[in-house]
Structure 1
């Protein structure tokens, strides 16, 4: 465990094209969960995620800071965006005292078709390599809520041989019951094996009871009916099968499960 004081975090994309794309793709935009149509991807869900974490850790001062309304919160974040016409990776860091630090890192401009449910993933997309961790991770509040305590995730990425955050690769964390929890930086989705015999979405994602993070894109996918929750074990995975991944900076991405060592 790090000796640094614990902080709660949420990371999202700032993209000045987002409001226009939402209007074009979703019409009246009622199905998109940001009534202000800010350039911050899924902003209300990120604020809710931080609020939930602050309540879990009994951080009263942080909770009071995060109770500001959405307009105020967006204006606060705006003060940390160096150039409004560019794209940024925005990392919101809140400490126990209610102090909030916002880090903005430039992101390349990309098409946003894969950010909005129903999303579009290009058939020409090169899938991310998706490995399964060889060690177990014990679920806790530090896996359900996103914090600066990232040692479990860093260790899992190291065991999978993922060298940098820029690698198009992911590793799935596994709890001691052999259930998939989540990815180290994404939420995973898998095709439902018995979909042809049952009603409901064709995709499933691990339930929070398996110990993974209550992510914002995960919430978006569930609310929009793209997927449902279902326990997924290592035994359920098939080498070479395609899956989907999502996070607040990259949207929804294509992945490919790799169970056998790459030659």
Structure 2
């Protein structure tokens, strides 16, 4: 389905995933993809995300294999439409509308090492601090938490507002903005999960703060790379090293 069609005015949930043939050789990705080699990053977590976020039985994908089929078809169609382009990796955004229709957008993205997609640990903040190139700022006002902040839906008003305030125009920029709730707790970032080093361990905002339970967040918690906790905006220190993660770029070191 093409953008601009009738479905554009309908509610939808979505997930965005990295396609990368190198993932077929990753045992970690196999484990996060129903124990089958897969070119999509943590496929099983994306399927779970869509099941949790659905509000209508027509949105149910009967199995991860069905989602894999849809994503694979979209990638194959993109390659057919762009025969002269040979990207190493693709960003695949899959929308599911309330009436059961779908739309998938595909864009080329840079190659990154598998170690950034599946780190064995989140490094101590003092480790190679000069290599940190991403910049992060804090949103200017609190959000009101709701289904729109806890699930990936078409209602992106708070995220769009935060990015506009931060002056972030495209997803290619190495910049991010942190969102916080009315209790002045960090809940999320505009397109990634944040992690903060507190009392000797990495902490990501707790689930009931009102933010999204991202795929890479769940994986990091499962692997005990971090714990859930409260992150007050009053505790954020300018220049401290933090981590960000999402399902296209993996795990990234950054600074507020």
Q: Output the CA distance in 2 between the equivalents of 1:70 and 1:165.
A: 27
What does residue 235 of structure 1 align with? 234
What does residue 61 of structure 1 align with? 58
Q: Output the CA distance in 1 between the equivalents of 2:64 and 2:30.
A: 17
What does residue 77 of structure 1 align with? 71
Unaligned runs of 5+ in 2: 1-7, 81-85
**1:119–1:78 Cα change, 3 Å:** farther
Q: Deviations over 1:26-61 (max 9, x none)?
A: 5xx77545411210001110011011010xx3x111
Q: Deviations over 1:85-140 (max 9, x none)?
A: 74210001000111121111112222221101415889463431110111111100
**Equivalent position SS for 1:131:** strand
Q: Give the TM-score taking structure 1 as reference length.
A: 0.84
Unaligned runs of 5+ in 1: 196-201, 258-263
What does residue 46 of structure 2 align with? 46
Q: Output the CA distance in 1 between the equivalents of 2:173 and 2:32.
A: 30
Structure 1 residue 166: deviation in Å?
1.6
Q: Output the CA distance in 1 between the equivalents of 2:19 and 2:31.
A: 19
What does residue 127 of structure 1 align with? 133
Map 1:123-162; keep pairs closer than 5 Å. 123=128, 125-162=131-168
Decide whether the 8 Å contact of 2:121 with 2:225 is kept in 1.
no
**Equivalent position SS for 2:139:** strand
Map 1:169-180; keep pairs closer than 5 Å. 169-180=175-186
Q: Give the TM-score taking structure 2 as reference length.
A: 0.86
Decide whether the 8 Å contact of 1:117 with 1:224 is kept in 2.
no
Decide whether the 8 Å contact of 1:10 with 1:92 is kept in 2.
yes
Q: Output the CA distance in 1 between the equivalents of 2:48 and 2:154.
A: 18
What does residue 23 of structure 2 align with? 18
Q: Output the CA distance in 1 between the equivalents of 2:171 and 2:70.
A: 27
What does residue 35 of structure 1 align with? 35
What does residue 199 of structure 1 align with? none
**Equivalent position SS for 2:103:** strand
The answer on 1:97 being equivalent to 2:103 is no
Q: Deviations over 1:210-232 (max 9, x none)?
A: 11011000000001110000011
**Equivalent position SS for 1:50:** helix
